[in-house]
Amino acid sequence: MQPEINTKEFNSKIINEIKKRRTFAIISHPDAGKTTLTEKFLLFGGAIQTAGAVKSNKIKKHATSDFMDIERQRGISVATSVMSFEYKNILVNLLDTPGHKDFAEDTYRTLTAVDSVVLVIDSVKGVEEQTKRLMEVCRMRDTPVIVFVNKLDRDGKNPFDLLDEIESELNIQLHPLSWPIGMGKEFKGVYNLFEKSLLLFNPNQKTTEEDVPIENINDEIVEQKLGAKDANRLREDVELIEGVYEEFDPQPYLEGKIAPVFFGSAINNFGVKELLETFIQIAPLPQERAVTTRVVEPDENKFSGFVFKIHANLDPRHRDRIAFLRVCAGKFERNKYFHHVRLDKNVRFSNPYTFLARDKDIIESAYPGDVVGLFDTGNFKIGDTLTEGEDFYFTGIPSFSPEIFKEVVNKDPMKTKQLEKGLLQLTDEGVAQLFTQFGGNKKIIGCVGELQFEVIQYRLLHEYGASVQLNSLPYYKACWITSKDPKKLEEFIKFKSGNIAKDKDGLLVYLAQSEWFLNTERTNNPDIEFHFTSEIHK
């Protein structure tokens, strides 16, 4: 017989663990410096010992979240990975995301699993297209955002102009917590407005920053360190900033209304420590989450969590499949039975993992905010929920309408089984969507961008031995269709059968050739609802 749990003690243990955790994602446009910033965070957390370019083959002990060959070849992240490290007794769960726009959907879903975001902006290029799309997703969920303006060691835009651009382009109010002194070759460091200290940049030394605490910005030491010209300019800038911005209040940041801004150079490890120090002070703890029946609080004594990503063949030698589960409430325990809501069965996990990029460590337990890797034999889909018996789903984990469509043509009929398995597993990961033409067997892949097709073709060949040709199809959008009148839906499917498909959950989809066709069908069929997103667990 099991001993009874003291609920008060159990809850206080969970509350203590929640207070220690911060779970966030780093997002950016490609090449803004996201991977470099990730590496520097891991260095500060002691998770890695060697600093070095992520793509360098000479360094064997580097942390890289880019664990797919095609990513290393192209120098971009196309799969989300999870890294955990401790800093000053805080357990930080960092979710790296694909920077490339073609993998936006994977990033959108990752943002459902975090409590806050660090947005990296290139000081030379400013706000770019992908940055806008990512920020829109953060705004939809009121996710707290900290902005890190990177590459101050290069000649970039005027910092005041850059702040104006970020505010107007991303529709968010900013609050600088550090301020740059010069830029490019003239870059001398930053003034930390939050801590009232001067950080000096030494590009030719191993330690790239010197921290000078300053009680008053008018102290002579500022001239001694910066020279009269830069000291005066800094004082003018700080006076202007303090005139425009009130003292920083973390509450509007936590509500997603104001974004604190830091300036630095990730490649030189400059300004990163200040960002991390402030982050662990002000970033939100694991938050409550909406489910189909109620709101789940993190300090509940019963466990619940959801799968936001699936990655097949994380280790190509072992042909494994890992489901990434965000713990939302209670305590996850190794070897304990949990309720798989969609399959309505109990499952347990003997080898749950925590991650440091490609390295996996088996864990005994996990708490709200943690991301656990579950070895999966095909039981999981994105959006699946695990609980301690209650039936509900976490909401807001959508599938988006693809923008590019291609038919999958099998080049080797002997490998039909491998191809089908590969297509199912890869689309389970959420990299692309799989449609089957209504009443036929034609397989159609829908993606947000061209690069996804390249990755799918590459992985089908190298991981499943299936060689395919991908032929373009003239579709504009995929819309999930529903109707309260089954007869009207049946008639629509009958007349438009050439444009009807089923997604891999069996949901009906209308493939529109153009915006005009879509608008015409919506006008002509008022009883049919056309949806641009689909809640995955339906």
- Sign of the four-CA dihedral 11, 12, 13, 17: positive
pLDDT (0 to 100) of residue 104: 61
- Is the model's pLDDT at 57 over the cut of 50? no
Buried b (16+ CB within 10 A) or exposed e, 270-306: bbbbbbbbbbeebbbbbbebebeeeebebbbeebbbb
pLDDT (0 to 100) of residue 316: 55
Q: What is the fold, at CATH topology level, of the domain defined by 398-535?
A: Alpha-Beta Plaits (3.30.70)
Q: What angle do CA 98, 104, 107 make, to 5 degrees?
A: 55
Could you tell me the CATH superfamily of domain 22-282? P-loop containing nucleotide triphosphate hydrolases (3.40.50.300)
Distance (Å, rounded) from C-alpha 29 to C-alpha 36?
Answer: 13
**Amino acid letter, 93:** N
Distance (Å, rounded) from C-alpha 211 to C-alpha 277?
Answer: 14
**Where does the pLDDT of residue 54 fall: very low under 50, low under 70, confident under 90, or very high at 90 and above?**
very low
Between 444 and 139, where is the model more confident? 444
pLDDT (0 to 100) of residue 425: 80
Q: What's the N-to-C CA distance of the chain in angstroms?
A: 38
Q: What angle do CA 86, 34, 75 make, to 5 degrees?
A: 120
In 3D, which of 450, 417, 446, 419 has the Cα closest to residue 504? 446
Would strands 258-263 and 145-150 be described as parallel, antiparallel, or unpaired?
Answer: parallel
In 3D, which of 451, 453, 399 has the Cα closest to residue 426? 453
Coil/strand/helix, residue 13: helix
pLDDT (0 to 100) of residue 331: 94
Distance (Å, rounded) from C-alpha 409 to C-alpha 403?
Answer: 20
pLDDT (0 to 100) of residue 207: 52
pLDDT (0 to 100) of residue 44: 82
pLDDT (0 to 100) of residue 355: 66
Rg of the chain over Cα atoms, rounded to whole angstroms, equals 25
- Total residue count of the chain as it appears in this document: 538
The number of beta carbons lying within 10 Å of the beta carbon of residue 159 is 19
**Where does the pLDDT of residue 35 fall: very low under 50, low under 70, confident under 90, or very high at 90 and above?**
confident
Coil/strand/helix, residue 178: strand
* Mean pLDDT for the stretch of residues 172-197: 88
- Is the model's pLDDT at 67 over the cut of 60? no
Cα torsion 499, 500, 505, 506 to 10°: value is -160
Cβ proximity of 482 and 467 under 8 Å: no
pLDDT (0 to 100) of residue 514: 92
pLDDT (0 to 100) of residue 359: 53
Could you tell me the CATH superfamily of domain 289-387? P-loop containing nucleotide triphosphate hydrolases (3.40.50.300)
In the predicted model, what is the mean pLDDT of the chain? 83
CATH topology of 289-387 equal to that of 398-535? no
Return the residue matching tokens 């830029």: 183
In 3D, which of 515, 423, 419, 408 has the Cα closest to residue 472? 408
In 3D, which of 307, 313, 303 has the Cα closest to residue 342? 307
- Sign of the four-CA dihedral 32, 369, 383, 358: positive
Return the residue matching tokens 């950016």: 28
pTM for the complete prediction? 0.81
| pLDDT tens per residue, range 228-283 | 888 899 889 988 988 888 888 999 999 999 999 999 998 888 888 889 999 999 99
Buried b (16+ CB within 10 A) or exposed e, 195-206: bebbbbbeeeee
Distance (Å, rounded) from C-alpha 239 to C-alpha 255?
Answer: 27
The structure tokens listed for 304 are 């619940």
Bridge partners (DSSP) of residue 446 are 405, 433
Distance (Å, rounded) from C-alpha 297 to C-alpha 289?
Answer: 7
Distance (Å, rounded) from C-alpha 408 to C-alpha 411?
Answer: 9
* Mean pLDDT for the stretch of residues 119-135: 86
- Is the model's pLDDT at 9 over the cut of 70? no
Domain ranges of the chain: 22-282, 289-387, 398-535
* Mean pLDDT for the stretch of residues 165-170: 92
- Is the model's pLDDT at 537 over the cut of 70? no
**Amino acid letter, 377:** T
- Is the model's pLDDT at 194 over the cut of 50? yes
- Is the model's pLDDT at 65 over the cut of 70? no
- Strands in 214-337 per DSSP E: 258-263, 289-290, 295-296, 304-312, 321-329, 332-333
- Sign of the four-CA dihedral 452, 453, 455, 460: positive
| pLDDT tens per residue, range 291-339 | 999 999 999 999 999 998 887 655 555 556 788 899 999 999 999 999 9
- Is the model's pLDDT at 1 over the cut of 50? no
- Is the model's pLDDT at 61 over the cut of 80? no
pLDDT (0 to 100) of residue 377: 78
pLDDT (0 to 100) of residue 77: 46
Q: Is 33 left (phi over 0), alpha (psi -120 to 50) or beta?
A: left
| pLDDT tens per residue, range 515-526 | 999 999 999 999
Cβ proximity of 305 and 325 under 8 Å: yes
Coil/strand/helix, residue 269: coil
Q: What angle do CA 418, 421, 425 make, to 5 degrees?
A: 135
Instruction: Return the DSSP state at 183.
Output: -
- Is the model's pLDDT at 14 over the cut of 80? yes
